[in-house]
Amino acid sequence: MTREQGTGNREQKTPVLAHRSPLSLKARKPLALACMSAAVLLAGCRQDMQDQPKMIPQRGSAMFADGRGARPQVVNTVARGQLDETSYYYTGVVQGANGYREEKDQLPFPVTLEVLHRGEERFNVYCTPCHSRVGNGLGEIVQRGYKPAANLHDQVRMAQPLSHYFYVMTHGYGAMPDYSAQLTPADRWAVAAYIRALQLSQAASMSDVPAGAEVKSLQETATEEKLPPSFAQPWGLPATAVYSNQGPAQKEGAPAMGPANTADPVQINRGGKAPAGAAK
């Protein structure tokens, strides 16, 4: 291209430089074709599930603060197929020769002092409101109108096998709800072991005391601990006790009534008149 400039009768042509691509026309065509082909290929690709963010086993992750992709299992989680629901440890019963499930007077693991301490701690938390700390069935709730709990020291409960307590804690019995949500299987067995130890302690005699061991009466212990004299006396009901089941269903049990079993503790009504049918 030129630009003409008039200088009289004479014409002068001055060349003007134009911008040209460094690629020749022949080189542009293959490049354009390659770009079009790549665009077509990219348009045919899909973002499937394999491209989404996910956790890969045994790899880290920036999503969590600890940098681990695999998350810790919830406490007490049991993988599918790893729980033997028919085992004695989880059910407290075994398949008997007669076709029925039978309870056994044994624990599925050795009883240690640590197990008994754990059983005592759990018993005091969940069992004492109804059964009391000594297991006689006169807990604080019972003294306030709740149906009398089982006396763990009567002839019936003393004769029951050890796994019976585990079974009752798992499924409930009568007015007692189950405690499977509050107590793990190990804790239920620990409580059962402590109940047996509690029974032995409450029924102990002088012949069970090791030679040379000092024995103190409950009255002496109460005096040393600066407790009131009533601490060593029979348990009684407060004057504010609520008497339930005073109709035809009295035999179902109510505070200050006669014991359901001959070995049950006799409840003393300290205030007012005991309901009809109460023990004298």
C-alpha closest to that of 259 among 137, 130, 129: 137
pLDDT at position 21, please? Answer: 53
Domains and CATH numbers, the chain: 88-202 (1.10.760.10)
On whether the CB atoms of residues 253 and 142 are closer than 8 A, the answer is: no
* Closest CA relative to residue 85, chosen from 204, 232, 185, 199: 185
Asked if 159 contacts 105 with a C-beta cutoff of 8 angstroms, the reply is no
Location of structure tokens 């790893």: 82
CA distance 171 to 94: 16
How far is the C-alpha of 273 from the C-alpha of 133, rounded, in Å? Answer: 27
- The dihedral region occupied by 92, where left means phi > 0, alpha psi between -120 and 50, and beta the remainder, is left
CA dist 93 and 85 (Å) reads 11
* pLDDT per residue rounded down to tens, the chain (280 residues): 444 544 455 555 555 555 555 556 666 777 777 787 777 666 666 666 666 777 788 888 888 888 888 888 888 788 887 777 678 999 899 888 877 888 999 999 999 999 999 999 999 999 999 998 889 888 888 777 777 788 899 888 999 999 999 999 999 988 889 999 999 999 999 999 999 999 988 888 888 888 888 888 878 888 888 888 777 776 665 555 554 444 444 444 444 444 444 444 444 444 444 444 444 3
Residue 141 dihedral angles phi and psi, to the nearest 5°: -65, -40
Q: What is the DSSP letter of 252?
A: G
- Greatest Cα pair distance in the chain: 151
Q: Provide the pLDDT for residue 26.
A: 63
- Give the pLDDT score at 254: 46
Count of helices and strands (H, E) across the chain: 8, 6
Residue 41's alpha-carbon distances to 35, 38, 45, 137, 183, in angstroms, are: 10, 5, 7, 81, 62
Tokens 């075994």, residue located: 94
Rounded CA gap, 259 and 154, in Å? 10
| Cβ-Cβ contacts under 8 Å for 243 (sequence gap 6 or more) | 145, 254, 255, 256, 275
Helices (H), the chain: 25-44, 88-91, 113-126, 128-131, 155-159, 162-171, 185-202, 218-224
